[in-house]
């Protein structure tokens, strides 16, 4: 590790010059802690790979060369998993498109697919767009998988597939080997195909261990989607890898050839460089995220004592229970809007943009998701504003609040 914290390299002024979704959706006085983008520079190895490709004019059609091998080495070294072989992989445009393509291989239009809310909102939208029927098996106590509920839902709806979010978004829970093994046995009993979204796998924090779903007994007919997108902040450089278990190889062979046209060539190059040469940078990032996780916990306790934070085991996303504020409406997936919810309060009165919990499905109303992959100064200012808003203070206005959020600017 270099000892440099990637989260402390950019000032707020530099971040506001970005043109990505995170920094252009809201006015400039808003601190954007919502969508899953990190406030970091590119890992040096990734930047070098992209510059070399651009200098060489290497911007043609994607070949996918090297991606699976780089991920296989990373998985073996980091997770002790040797289950990735090139013959059981396919490069796909991104994780969600890979999920849809995997579902098309093992389900039919109208089939029921289980999700475990609160969960990543695109699961709902992409399933509906693909003509599959979403059925919910909400998480249980401690935000763990509730196997009894999953089994009941599977039988009631004759579900054909289950989308697993591992590590889980938005709660940051890391599923254990025992939980995943039990899930695999359940899936076999009910002839359910599991598709595991493991995009946050490189971002497991200290105190937890990631277990690839395909590594557990009984998961041989499942699929997993992996990517460098979240771990190295490459959402704008599209690429992911669809990995089939040994018993799903024949299904993978039916994947239409044109799916491989969707990834970006620069995306494949960037993701390959990240897995192959970006590990030291990732280690520095994880150390910084560990500190930010602790800081977020202390700031919530200081400024929002009426709320409670689910301490994430992975990701850079905090799941904050704001139900005690009494602002949420509804109690499940039936909630269509959250116009008076906590996310709206914090946006309007604190000028802090968060993800509203209601969009994550059943169990999400009254929560917000906060992205803590930012600098200490920005996180401190955001929580100070949120605490003031919750106590009824007026919304911040003018340049003074922006200056308070940007002390690093004066040190550079």
Residues 177 and 231 in one domain: yes
Nearest-angstrom CA–CA distance, 223 and 185: 15
- Closest by CA to 216, choosing from 162, 180, 189, 165, is 180
Q: What is the CATH number of the domain that holds 374?
A: 3.90.1150.10
pLDDT at res. 334: 42
What is the structure's pLDDT at 330?
52
Low-confidence ranges of the chain (pLDDT < 70): 1, 328-340, 395-412
Q: What pLDDT was estimated at residue 271? A: 98
- Answer yes or no: do 158 and 303 share one domain: no
354 DSSP 8-state letter: -
At 412 the pLDDT is 31
pTM score of the predicted model? 0.93
Domain membership flag for residue 302:
yes
Do 60 and 17 fall into the same domain? no
Residue 338's pLDDT is 53
Residue at a domain's end among 231, 248, 277? 277
Of 260, 277, 294, which one is at a domain's C-terminal end?
277
Q: What is the extent of the structural domain holding 302?
A: 6-41+280-411
pLDDT on residue 410: 29
Q: Are residues 166 and 182 in the same domain?
A: yes
Residues 30 and 48 grouped into a single domain = no
Domain count for the chain: 2
Q: Is residue 1 part of a domain?
A: no
pLDDT of residue 335: 41
**Concatenated DSSP letters for 63-109?**
--TTHHHHHHHHHHHHH------GGGEEEES-HHHHHHHHHHHH--T
Q: Are residues 37 and 98 in the same domain?
A: no
């Amino acid at each position: 590790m270099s000892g440099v914290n990637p989260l402390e390299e950019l000032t707020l002024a530099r971040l506001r010059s970005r043109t990505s979704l995170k920094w252009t959706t809201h006015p400039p006085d808003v601190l954007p802690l919502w969508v899953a983008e990190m406030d970091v520079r590119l890992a040096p190895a990734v930047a070098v790979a992209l510059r070399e490709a651009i200098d060489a004019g290497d911007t043609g059609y994607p070949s996918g060369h090297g991606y699976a091998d780089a991920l296989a080495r990373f998985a073996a070294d980091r997770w002790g998993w040797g289950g990735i072989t090139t013959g059981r992989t396919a490069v796909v445009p991104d994780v969600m498109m890979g999920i849809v393509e995997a579902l098309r291989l093992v389900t039919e239009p109208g089939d029921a697919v289980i999700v475990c809310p609160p969960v990543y909102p695109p699961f709902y939208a992409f399933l509906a767009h693909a003509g599959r029927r979403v059925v919910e098996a909400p998480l249980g106590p401690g935000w763990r998988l509730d196997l009894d509920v999953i089994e009941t839902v599977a039988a009631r709806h004759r579900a054909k597939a289950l989308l697993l979010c591992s590590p889980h978004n938005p709660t940051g829970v890391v599923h254990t080997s025992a939980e995943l093994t039990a899930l695999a046995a359940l899936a076999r009993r009910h002839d359910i195909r599991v598709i595991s979204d493991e995009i946050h796998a490189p971002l497991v924090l200290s105190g937890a261990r990631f277990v690839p779903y395909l590594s557990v007994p009984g998961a041989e007919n499942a699929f997993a989607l992996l990517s460098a997108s979240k771990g190295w902040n490459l959402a704008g450089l599209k690429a992911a890898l669809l990995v089939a278990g040994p018993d799903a190889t024949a299904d993978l062979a039916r994947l239409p050839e044109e799916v491989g046209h969707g990834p970006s060539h620069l995306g494949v190059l960037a993701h390959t460089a990240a897995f192959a040469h970006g590990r030291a940078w990732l280690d520095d990032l994880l150390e910084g995220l560990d500190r930010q996780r602790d800081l977020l916990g202390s700031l919530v306790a200081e400024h929002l004592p009426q709320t409670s934070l689910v301490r994430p085991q992975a990701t850079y996303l905090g799941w904050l229970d704001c139900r005690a504020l009494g602002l949420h409406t509804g109690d499940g997936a039936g909630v269509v809007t959250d116009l008076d919810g906590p996310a709206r309060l914090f946006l309007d009165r604190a000028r802090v943009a968060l993800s509203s919990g209601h969009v994550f499905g059943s169990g999400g109303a009254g929560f917000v998701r906060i992205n803590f992959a930012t600098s200490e100064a920005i996180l401190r200012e955001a929580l100070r504003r949120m605490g003031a808003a919750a106590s009824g203070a007026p919304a911040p206005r003018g340049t003074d609040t922006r200056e308070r959020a940007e002390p690093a600017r004066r040190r550079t």
